[in-house]
Structure 1
Amino acid sequence: MAEILPFKAVRPAKAKAGLVVSRSYQDYSKAEIAAQLENNPYSFLHIINPEYELQDQNVGESRFKMIKERFLQYKQDGTFIKDKKPFYYVYKIETPHNSCCGIIAAASAEDYDKNIIKKHEDTIVHREILFKEYLKVVGFNAEPVLLTFPDNTTIESIISETTATTAEYEFTTTDSEKHYLWKISNPETAESLRSEFASIGSLYIADGHHRSASSTLFAQESRANNPNHTGKEPYNYFLSYIIPEKNLKIDGFSRLISDLNSHSKEEFLFLLKKNFSIKNYEEKIFVPAEKHEFSMYLDGQFYSLQLKKTGYQTEDSRSKLDAVILYDNILKPILGIKDLRNDKRISYFPGKDNNVEIKRQVDSGKFAVGFAMLPPGITEIKQIAEENLTMPPKSTYIEPKLRSGLTIYEF
């Protein structure tokens, strides 16, 4: 059973909500960050980038302390308010291409430990530890982990009834996204929601594996350092946005490789024929339409690569993933790429139907070849998680991408 609890959110004053919330820091270019910090005094980027005005380059604990101080300033000057009672929050995002609606709540670190909250990606230990130290110093979590659950009529009915009322927040951001937030104030509705989540066998991490892992490390350390630990302390939970599976938008990443590993074009194509049927589409863009089918752009021409039924054996759900098939049959044995995270010869580009970008990048001379494939579906992602397996890096590009600073969870 999944334990999903209401919490007392720290959130922007209503009139400032649209000015405060920000995309994830990594999503901005340096120029965009500078513009936000220069022109918007309320942006949450000021909190996570407190050294901007000081032109200070502090890192580690000293920087984390500056973040906490800036956060406290926002609370003191009324930019942020804190709810006096714990609530579940219904949050809706409408973009030009997608719409989703779900519950913002506190998820259990113990559920993560017990694999009730299931994972499908590996995490990097030093990043887990760094963010754990960040949480310990700043004392809050501002960007939710994206969790998903099988479609549930009771939960969706609660969401539908709530969104039929007047929203607490309603604002549009500069990228034409519309945001709505509601509080679930009725105690009976809140209890029904808690009970329904408790009846769900598993939740699945869609995005935020490192934040989940770091929050769990923080909970473990806090528990060990608290002789009066009860299990109900705020550090036992982490901020989450929980949406039905049908609201997930799953795209993939293309792979761009800088060289052919000393092979000529002719040698490379010859080696591919061992496990793939190849068709040359010349300058006509080819888009994969089924699993185990790949688009390749090489030397000004598009090719389809169809995996042959002989020569490659699948052993489990992971080995059936197209990203794994590409790695096992091309990237590693032919192109010599062994480390998908750290090899500088490989780059990734997210999004659907991105063959135009692959062509542009290869034609620029920066890359020698590019590959595209269909992304895995939610059923494949869940099966990987159920089998305690992990996907290769950059197997999925999952939306919605969440904003920081809308609802903040304090420890």
Structure 2
Amino acid sequence: MSFDHCLIRPFAGLRPRRQDAAAVAAPPYDVLSSEEAREAASGKPLSFLHVSKAEIDLPPEVDHFAPEVYAKSAENFQRLVDDGVLCRDERACYYAYRLVMGDHVQVGLVAAASIAAYDSNRIRKHEFTRPDKEDDRVRQIEALNAQTGPVLLVNAHNETVDRLLSQASEGEPVADVTGENGIRHTLWMIDEGETITHLGALFEAMPALYIADGHHRSAAASRVAAARRGKADAVDSAEYFLAVIFPASQMRIMDYNRVARDLNGLSEEAFLAAVAQRYRVMPSDSPVKPERSGVCGMYLGRRWYRLELLPGLLPSSDPVRRVDVSVLAEQILAPLLGITDLRRDTRIDFVGGMRGLGELERRVDSGEMAVAFALYPTQMADLMAVADAGEVMPPKSTWFEPKLADGLVSHVLD
């Protein structure tokens, strides 16, 4: 069997009927806890959460990674197909996917992305993955024989791609859903042969794509492909994974902030004095939302401070050490608070920018945490530079909004 090793290719998507799209579309599997998903899917039998978080249909004491969870997911998935809620397109195509969140708009391409390109690092990573999370996604793919959670990819600016997607999104959509969070998801089919060929050629000419979100999903797809390769019933669709590709210029990365449980034995006065050896510390009467790299907001003792990194402390060339999350770790978290392992240290927690600076105040004022840091968001250029260097970002460096919906289109492995 020979594989077509193009960077992306069209596929016959499995998607809800237009009239069912709003009832099916659901938040990504990894942004809701099981309890939140159970509540969100209550009274909504078509919600894709019954597939992506199938533990909600089992007793609460069942382990979320137990075999019966994946079996239930497959059962719920098949029922949506058997009932005609999910239907397979008759021919391979691309899809244009538009996200609207307030004034922010981004339009991307839904495609099947090459496992070979992922394995060779043409589709570039910037995060480590955890084996247990990979295992979960592998079991999910195998149980469904489909990839249902899209990987969020990014391409460098290409004016022609942007124009083609803009034109594709002018027609009648096959899905148009506004979620409870106000984010609008609209999907158009791109099935005209010349446009499909043109888009494929444009992407083939690109040296790289970048994973923005979905490292575990893409790693799991690679493992599934490797396990199936060479078997009698192997299919080449397994050599591709479900992806939505947006131009870097349209991506919106929000701040990913930090809260620390204690001051590592220091008094507030001693901690402030130590911080002042590395930053210019300025009290503020209002919350501090950093407007540039090198500036950090700190909330301590029910008061905000603006921190400006002192000259000469910002690394000049290292793409990982230059990002603000690394600077905070290098200047405050490790030397002053003794927090060196952001993946395992229970004294540190992370707060996505969607929750606002008020959430940082709440965590500290409640006594749960001792200090909070509001960070300047990682920039797409920084992420791409890290990936190009073959390096990885620190944990919890990027929080992308708006997020994709699960269930609008799936990639079946047959």
In structure 2, the CA distance between the partners of 1:286 and 1:6, relative to structure 1 (3 Å rule), is: same
- The equivalent of 1:402 in structure 2 is 404
Q: Which amino acid aligns with 2:49?
A: L
**1:74 shift after superposition:** 1.1
Residues 54, 361 of structure 1: CA spacing in aligned structure 2 closer, same or farther, 3 A cutoff?
closer
2:249 to 242, 246, 249: 246
> Bigger shift: 300-309 or 16-25?
300-309
Distance between the aligned counterparts of 2:358 and 2:8, measured in 1?
42
Alpha-carbon shift at residue 20 of structure 1 (Å): 0.4
Aligned to 1:128: 134
Matched-pair contact (CA < 8 Å) for 1:287–1:353 = no
What is the rounded CA distance, in whole Å, between the counterparts of 1:227 and 1:47 in structure 2? 28
- Seen in structure 2, the aligned counterparts of structure 1 residues 352 and 295 have a Cα distance that, compared at 3 Å, is farther
Cα 1:9/1:354, change in 2 over 3 Å: same
Distance in 2 between residues matched to 1:85 and 1:328, nearest whole Å: 52
User: Which stretch has the larger CA shift, 15-24 or 147-156?
Assistant: 147-156
Shift of 1:265: 1.2
Q: Deviations over 1:135-155 (max 9, x none)?
A: 222211111101111121221
Q: Does 1:40 align with 2:44?
A: yes
Structure 1 residues 61-70 or 43-52, which shifts more?
43-52
Shift of 1:296: 0.8
Deviations along 1:27-65, whole A, 9 cap, x unmatched? 335564334433111111122344544537254333212
Matched, 1:363 2:365: yes
Q: Summarize the Cα distance change of 1:72–1:331 in structure 2 as closer, same or farther, 3 Å threshold.
A: same
- What is the 5 A alignment of 1:73-222? 73-222=79-228
Indicate the SS of the match to 1:189.
Answer: helix
1:67 match:
73
| Ranges in structure 1 where 5+ consecutive residues have no aligned partner | none
Structure 1: distance between partners of 2:55 and 2:325:
40
User: CA deviation digits over 1:309-364, x for unaligned, max 9?
Assistant: 24565551111111111111111111011211221111111116933322222111
Secondary structure of 1:38's aligned partner? coil
Inter-CA distance 99–315: structure 2 relative to 1 (3 Å threshold): closer
Count of residue correspondences = 407
Corresponding letter in the other structure for 1:354 = G
SS of the residue corresponding to residue 303 of structure 1 reads strand
Secondary structure of 1:375's aligned partner: coil
The answer to whether residue 283 in structure 2 is matched with residue 280 in structure 1 is: yes
Aligned pair partner of 2:239 in 236, 240, 265: 236
Q: Give per-residue Cα distances to partners, 1:74-116, cap 9 Å, x unaligned.
A: 1111111111111101111222242211110100111011111
Are the structure 2 counterparts of residues 313 and 199 from structure 1 closer, same or farther at C-alpha, using a change threshold of 3 Å? closer
In 2, the alpha carbon distance for the partners of 1:89 and 1:315 equals 39
- SS of the aligned residue for 2:118 comes to helix
CA distance in 1, matches of 2:222, 2:30: 23
Indicate yes or no: 2:31 matched with 1:17: no
2:259 alignment partner in structure 1: 256
Deviation at 1:227, TM superposition (A): 5.6
Partner of 2:231: 226
CA contact (8 A) 1:257 1:369 kept: yes
Local SS of the residue matching 2:143: helix
SS of the residue 2:41 aligns to:
helix
d(CA) in 2 for partners of 1:20, 1:228? 31
How many percent of aligned residue pairs carry the same amino acid? 32
- For the 8 Å contact 1:2–1:202, the answer to whether it is kept is no
Q: List structure 1 runs of 4+ shifted beyond 6 angstroms.
A: none
Which of 241, 266, 270 is residue 267 of structure 1 equivalent to? 270
Q: Distance in 1 between matches of 2:218 and 2:269?
A: 46
1:291-323: CA deviation from partner (whole Å, max 9, x where unpaired)? 112111111221122222245655511111111
Alignment partner of 1:120: what SS?
A: coil
8 Å contact from structure 2 (residues 92, 191) kept in 1: no
Return closer, same or farther for 1:28/1:312 CA change in 2, 3 Å cut-off.
closer
CA distance in 1, matches of 2:260, 2:90: 53
3-state SS of 1:318 partner: coil
